[in-house]
């Protein structure tokens, strides 16, 4: 069976490519060319044909990933299923199932059975958990068991995998010679792989047998997401030699994987100061040949715990603006606790808003929604206003909790509503429809007071 990448290279516009093009408002041939070049990936799995089709990459809307999963402290499968369904209903585009506690096979299968989103995971989590249970020592993980586990997870229907192929002896040597890390190693998979390599004095089997990794992913037409196991966990570690060594290797592997016909994307940081985000994305795009970039947040500050969904939203908006393609959400529980259902909701909403803000800057042609909202707000057409918001129910809830005396205004301004007075002052007898038409026909130039163009 050929992958989406191989079919696109052969000139075929597949059903998945047509669906992506329709959802994004693009020509199918344009999407096919980008898939063929490896600039767009479409996570899928032949064992799960009815999942939602999602395109990730160049020229597409920035996508949002939600992560769920048990821990060694909290194992509640029903809760994880509810979190998966909540993430889907709140508009997440993909889901990662990252459990490390309980019956890991059962958790994964239950989530897959109750969610239509493309589901990803990190196979090293279960691999090292199983080795710890079996031998009481995760460093006794056997290479053959690791590859068998990857195939079992793919057979269950996993659509993309974060696989830590970029950690090798060279990467570790860069970390050793560097001699320090303010934030340490914060990737669970990355940390355990480094420990395994040091304990066994062997090369990372995922790097050493990269062709085998790609063959498994191709078998199910799943996307290989090249994991960021040495990512910075503190902004002072951003772009240190160890992180950059892994980034270079992952970009090389992305290109090699594409040559083998495997859909690939690259994973990024992590904690990055705001002024370094643009450079980070430019480097990944340049070195990988525009492979889709999947970033965690990123978080541009280390001091926002409790509100890290806001910290990350700031980083995510900038990341989307500069070309990141998939943003992994951060919840208010980040760095503090396992997220609950409320945390998942807030994380998805904050990240969707951030991605939308980034896309407004990245694609100026997609600003029509903002114009529609602004016109409805200016004209105090509340129902029209709600209809075009990202979170209409939340907006209605807030307004209903503080009902104004004058239904045309809100309790923020009441009798001193700037919008109402502005329209009365400049357009006392113009209808909303005529206002919209006049605005569209107005000459280019900066708007004056109240967002109304005044003619000559």
The CATH number of the domain holding residue 201 is 3.20.20.540
Q: Ranked by mean pLDDT, which of 165-169, 410-414, 416-420 comes out on top? A: 165-169
Q: Are residues 93 and 229 in the same domain?
A: yes
Distance CA 148, CA 154 (A): 10
Residue 291 lies inside a defined structural domain of this protein: yes
Q: Are residues 50 and 148 in the same domain?
A: yes
Whether 16 has a pLDDT exceeding 90, the answer reads: yes
Residue 19 lies inside a defined structural domain of this protein: no
pTM for the full predicted model = 0.91
Q: Are residues 110 and 84 in the same domain?
A: yes
Q: Which two tokens stand for residue 204?
A: 């990372």
Q: Are residues 200 and 170 in the same domain?
A: yes
Q: Which two tokens stand for residue 345?
A: 């909701």
Q: Are residues 287 and 323 in the same domain?
A: yes
Which long-range contacts (C-beta less than 8 Å, at least 24 apart) are formed by 424-429? 425/450, 426/450, 426/452, 426/454, 427/452
Residue 17 lies inside a defined structural domain of this protein: no
**Residue 188 near residue 125, CB atoms below 8 Å:** yes
Average pLDDT over residues 206-210: 98
Average pLDDT over residues 101-116: 98
Q: Which two tokens stand for residue 207?
A: 């790097």
pLDDT in tens, 264-281: 999 998 999 999 999 999
Q: Are residues 147 and 291 in the same domain?
A: yes
Q: Are residues 284 and 421 in the same domain?
A: no
Q: Are residues 277 and 134 in the same domain?
A: yes
Average pLDDT over residues 279-305: 97
Residue 428 CB contacts under 8 Å (≥ 6 apart), including other chains: none
Number of domains in the chain: 2
Residue 11 lies inside a defined structural domain of this protein: no
Residue 323 lies inside a defined structural domain of this protein: yes
Distance CA 172, CA 418 (A): 60
Q: Are residues 178 and 49 in the same domain?
A: yes
Residue 18 lies inside a defined structural domain of this protein: no
Check residue 380 and give its pLDDT. Answer: 87
Of the three residues 298, 333, 364, the one that is the final residue of a domain is 364
Q: Please list the residues that pair with 264 across neighbouring strands.
A: 224
Residue 13 lies inside a defined structural domain of this protein: no
Residue 197 Cα to chain centre, angstroms = 30
Distance CA 426, CA 448 (A): 11
Task: Report residue 53's pLDDT band, with 50, 70 and 90 as the boundaries.
Answer: very high
Average pLDDT over residues 117-139: 97
Structural domain of 66: 38-364
Residue 265 lies inside a defined structural domain of this protein: yes
Of the three residues 347, 364, 381, the one that is the final residue of a domain is 364
Whether 448 has a pLDDT exceeding 50, the answer reads: no
- How buried is 201 (Cβ within 10 angstroms: 0-12 exposed, 13-18 middle, 19+ buried)? exposed
Of the three residues 341, 364, 387, the one that is the final residue of a domain is 364
SS3 of 408, please? coil
- Mean pLDDT is lowest, of 234-248, 310-324, 355-369, 409-423, for 409-423
63: enclosing H helix or E strand = strand 63-68
Q: Are residues 71 and 98 in the same domain?
A: yes
The mean pLDDT of the chain is 92
Check residue 407 and give its pLDDT. Answer: 85
Q: Quick count: other Cβ atoms within 10 Å of Cβ 109?
A: 16
Q: Are residues 64 and 190 in the same domain?
A: yes
Check residue 453 and give its pLDDT. Answer: 34
Q: Are residues 263 and 402 in the same domain?
A: no
Return the closest-CA partner of residue 301 out of 288, 292, 310: 310
Distance CA 105, CA 122 (A): 13
């Amino acid at each position: 069976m050929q992958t989406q990448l191989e079919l696109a290279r052969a000139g075929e516009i597949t059903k998945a490519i047509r669906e992506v093009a329709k959802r994004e408002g693009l020509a199918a041939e344009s999407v096919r060319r980008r898939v063929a070049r490896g600039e767009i990936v479409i996570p899928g799995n032949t064992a799960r044909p009815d999942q939602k089709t999602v395109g990730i990459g160049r020229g597409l809307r920035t996508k949002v990933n939600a992560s769920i999963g048990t821990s060694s402290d909290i194992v509640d499968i029903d809760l994880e299923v509810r979190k998966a369904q909540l993430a889907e209903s709140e508009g997440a585009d993909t889901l990662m199932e990252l459990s490390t506690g309980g019956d890991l096979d059962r958790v994964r299968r239950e989530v897959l059975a109750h969610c239509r989103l493309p589901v990803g995971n990190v196979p090293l989590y279960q691999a090292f958990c199983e080795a710890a249970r079996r031998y009481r020592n995760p460093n006794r993980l056997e290479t053959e068991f690791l590859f068998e586990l990857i195939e079992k997870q793919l057979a269950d229907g996993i659509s993309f995998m974060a696989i830590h192929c970029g950690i090798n002896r060279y990467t570790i040597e860069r970390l050793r010679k560097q001699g320090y890390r303010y934030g340490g190693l914060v990737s669970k998979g990355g940390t355990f792989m480094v420990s395994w390599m040091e304990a066994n004095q062997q090369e990372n089997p995922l790097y050493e047998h990269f062709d085998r990794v790609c063959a498994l992913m191709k078998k199910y037409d799943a996307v290989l997401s090249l994991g960021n196991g040495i990512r910075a966990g503190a902004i002072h570690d951003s772009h240190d030699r160890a992180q950059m060594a892994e980034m270079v290797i992952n970009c090389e592997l992305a290109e090699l994987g594409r040559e083998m016909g495997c859909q690939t994307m690259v994973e990024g940081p992590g904690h990055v100061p705001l002024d370094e985000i643009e450079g980070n994305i430019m480097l990944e795009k340049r070195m990988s040949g525009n492979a889709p970039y999947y970033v965690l947040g990123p978080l541009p500050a280390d001091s926002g715990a409790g509100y890290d969904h806001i910290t990350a939203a700031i980083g995510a908006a900038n990341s989307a603006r500069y070309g990141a393609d998939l943003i992994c959400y951060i919840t208010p529980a980040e760095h503090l606790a396992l997220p609950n259902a409320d945390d998942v909701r807030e994380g998805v909403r904050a990240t969707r808003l951030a991605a939308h803000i980034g896309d407004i800057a990245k694609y100026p042609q997609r600003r029509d929604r903002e114009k529609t909202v602004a016109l409805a707000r200016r004209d105090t057409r509340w129902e029209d206003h709600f209809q075009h918001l990202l979170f209409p129910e939340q907006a209605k809830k807030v307004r209903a909790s503080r009902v104004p005396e004058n239904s045309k205004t809100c309790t923020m301004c009441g009798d001193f509503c700037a919008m109402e007075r502005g329209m009365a002052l400049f357009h006392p007898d113009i209808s909303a429809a005529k206002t919209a038409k006049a605005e569209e026909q107005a000459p280019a130039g900066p708007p004056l007071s109240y967002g109304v163009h005044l003619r000559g």
